[in-house]
Each structure stands twice: as C-alpha cells, then as structure tokens.
Amino acid sequence: MKILFRRQSNLDSLPAIARADAFKKYFSKRNFSCIDVENLSLRKLRVHLDGNSGEDPVYVFISMPPFRGWDIFLQSRVRVILDIRDGWSIAMKSGYGGTTSNKPTKSWVASNVERWAIRRSFISIACTNGLQQHLEKISHQPVLLIPNGISDDDLELVKKIKIRRDFLKNPQYVSFICSGQFSEYGADKTRKLLKTIVDRYGKDGNLLVRLAGSDAEINAWTIRYFREITRGTGCIEILPRMTRARLFEIIASCDYGLSIVRDPDYEFGTKIFDYIALGLPVVNYFDMPNNFTRHFNACLDVPFEFNAALPEIRRSVLIEKELSKTVF
C-alpha cells in the first residue's frame, strides 16, 4: 500500500518534520510505500491515484497546521490520516492562552472546518489530552492521542549524557532550564512561574534560570525582574543557539525543567518530554489541577525514578500503541 506524506516547503518546523518522520518509520516497517510529496496538490495527488494498481486506496498523512489543502479530503480513493498538532479553534477561542486577542467568530468557523475534516478522515490524531477531548467533543468522532514524546535517536543521546550528569551540575546554584520560548508565551505566566520558583526554592540556595531558545530582546525584562524579586541572589542567563547534544547537556546540568503552558486546555508546553527523559522534575506553577498537571503528575516538582506511573515518552512506542489497533 502507498502512503503520501505531505510536506509544506518553508512552513514545516523541525519538530513537525521529526514527528512526521516517526510516523513514516512506523508505516515503513509495515511494508507501506512511503513517499514524501512537497506541497501536495490535487494535481500531484491524481498522479499517484492514476498510478495505483487495483482498487487499493492511497493513504495521505497530513499534519496540521498549516491548515490548507482541503480538496484532498474530497477524494473518494484517498484515506486521510489527519495529525492535528495545534488546537486551531480552541486556540482562537482563548487567544492562544491569552497571548493574543480571542476571536470567537473565527473560532466557530475553525471548529466547523475541523469537525468536517475529522469526519472525512480515516484516522484523526491529537498530540495532547486536552486537544483530543476538544476535537472529540466538536466532531463526535474518536480521535487518537499520540503525544510528541522523544525520538529513539534522542533517547540514545540522553543515555550517554545522563551518565555524566553529576559532573555537569553546578553545586553553587539551584538551577532551572527552559528549552524554548519563555515570556513569549505570556508575561503574566512568566512572573507567576518566577515567583513560584522564589517561594518554593529560594531557601535552598542561589537561583539560576537558564533560557535556551528564547528571544534575548523579548526576555530582557525577566533578568531585571528576577534579580529584583530575589533581592540580587537570582540570575537569569539567556543562552545562544546550540546543537541538540549541547542542549541536552545543559538540561542535564540543571535541577528542574520549566515549561510555560499557554493554555493547559489544549497543550503540554515547552520540551517537557526532553526534561523527563533527562530525569528533571518540572516546576508546577498552576493553582488548580488541569489536563497538563494530571498527565504529568508523577514528574512535577519532586525528583523521580522511571517507573510505571510516569507517562510514556518514547515516540515510537506511543505511535505503535495507538496505530497497531487500526486495520489498514
């Protein structure tokens, strides 16, 4: 059988490509003919349909956003595997967790498009539990939950780095790492998280927050703010771009992971699976339980050992667990 993977030139992010490649590995192991098609159009799709022998359907893997190419869903010989990585309608409704103005009308339109696309799909997939619940509610259709997890290659790298973790640590600080955007996801959330760090860990020693992948100009205010609320004993360090291996070393050298979650109703936030893989507890700054805290409860705030209570983090296992139930 044939499965086409739609690639969107200049639009797909590296995490999106890595996620799609993990699905491709799954299907390749099951003897699918996996073909990357850049900017898949109806014309390109028809070439593959015409060249398909017999009555076998052609599967198309579409990762959204970007939300485009809706005419593909209308082809009778196509079975769409729809991987929704971002809550389009729910994000518009909440203003992406309060980072922009909410758009209720556009959200209503988007939810109708999502409903239609899910109902036309052979399989629909969501990457967080909150997004899964939202999509099932609006579509009245089952949606598989396959979180991002971490790749097998990255886990091999993690194993090598964890061996040297004690050597990498700086005992002068209680240290925290945010891998990805920080105050870009909301100044109010950032202030609350930094205050939580001071209140919860300020008595344990000097505090160091390291930002890897955050915009230096946008986050400049956090340096001053953190120094102020710690009375000069706390420091925020904004790091330059680095390799994946170096990033993992930085994470391993820290005591806690930081994840700014724009809206726990539909997302998991920044790089939490990397933190878990490297054994870092994640700081919980929420006042009330939510989808995020319930899913990651076993690795919030306190050191943990890998056990059955922890969420599965291996991407290949997460995909296998859900897709193996589907008859193709």
Superfamily of segment(s) 2-149+316-323? Glycogen Phosphorylase B; (3.40.50.2000)
High-pLDDT (> 90) share of the chain, %? 64
Taking CA atoms, 87 is separated from 19, 110, 256, in Å, by: 17, 10, 28
**Residue 53, pLDDT score:** 63
Print burial letters for 187-219: b (CB count within 10 Å at least 16), e (below 16).
bebbbebbebbbeebbeeeebbbbbbbbeeeeb
**Residue 42, pLDDT score:** 82
Picking from 81, 70, 84, the residue whose alpha carbon sits closest to that of residue 32 is 81
Q: Are 318 and 149 in contact (CB under 8 A)?
A: yes
List beta partners, residue 239: 212
What is d(CA 196, CA 176) in angstroms, rounded to the nearest whole number? Answer: 12
Picking from 258, 129, 251, 291, the residue whose alpha carbon sits closest to that of residue 181 is 258
Burial class (CB within 10 angstroms; exposed 0-12, middle 13-18, buried 19+) of 142 = exposed
DSSP for 5-18 reads: EEE-TTT--HHHHH
What is d(CA 266, CA 254) in angstroms, rounded to the nearest whole number? Answer: 27
Count how many residues are written for the chain: 328
Q: What is the largest CA-CA distance in the chain?
A: 73
- Please write the tens of the pLDDT for every residue from 250-277: 999 999 999 999 888 888 877 899 999 9
How do beta strands 144-145 and 78-84 pair? unpaired
Report CA 133 to chain centroid distance, whole Å: 16
For residue 325, pLDDT beyond 90: no
**Residue 41, pLDDT score:** 82
High-pLDDT (> 70) share of the chain, %? 97
**Residue 166, pLDDT score:** 78
**Quick one: pLDDT band at residue 15, thresholds 50, 70, 90?**
confident
Q: Percent helix, strand, coil in the chain (nearest 5)? A: 45, 20, 35
For residue 11, pLDDT beyond 70: no
**Residue 168, pLDDT score:** 82
Average pLDDT over residues 203-219: 94
Q: Which of 88-97, 118-127, 229-238 has the lowest mean pLDDT?
A: 88-97
CB neighbour list of residue 208: distance below 8 Å, 6 or more residues apart: 170, 173, 174, 175, 176, 234, 235, 236, 237
Q: Which of 8-12, 22-26, 108-112, 251-255 has the lowest mean pLDDT?
A: 8-12
Picking from 120, 111, 159, the residue whose alpha carbon sits closest to that of residue 141 is 120
Q: Could you check whether 2-149+316-323 and 152-311 share the same CATH topology?
A: yes
Q: The domain at 152-311 falls in which architecture?
A: 3-Layer(aba) Sandwich (3.40)
**Residue 10, pLDDT score:** 67
- Please write the tens of the pLDDT for every residue from 290-310: 999 999 999 999 988 887 778
- Please write the tens of the pLDDT for every residue from 17-32: 889 999 999 999 999 9
**Residue 56, pLDDT score:** 78
What is d(CA 171, CA 268) in angstroms, rounded to the nearest whole number? Answer: 30
Q: Which three-class secondary structure state does DSSP give residue 261?
A: coil
Q: How confident is the prediction for the chain on average, in pLDDT? A: 90
**Quick one: pLDDT band at residue 67, thresholds 50, 70, 90?**
confident
For the chain, which residues make up each domain, given as ranges? 2-149+316-323, 152-311
What is d(CA 137, CA 131) in angstroms, rounded to the nearest whole number? Answer: 10
Q: Are 258 and 282 in contact (CB under 8 A)?
A: yes
**Residue 120, pLDDT score:** 95
Q: Which three-class secondary structure state does DSSP give residue 180?
A: coil
**Residue 265, pLDDT score:** 82
C-alpha dihedral, 160 to 164 to 165 to 168, nearest 10°: -130
**Residue 164, pLDDT score:** 85
Q: Which of 50-64, 101-115, 308-322 has the lowest mean pLDDT?
A: 50-64
**Quick one: pLDDT band at residue 54, thresholds 50, 70, 90?**
low
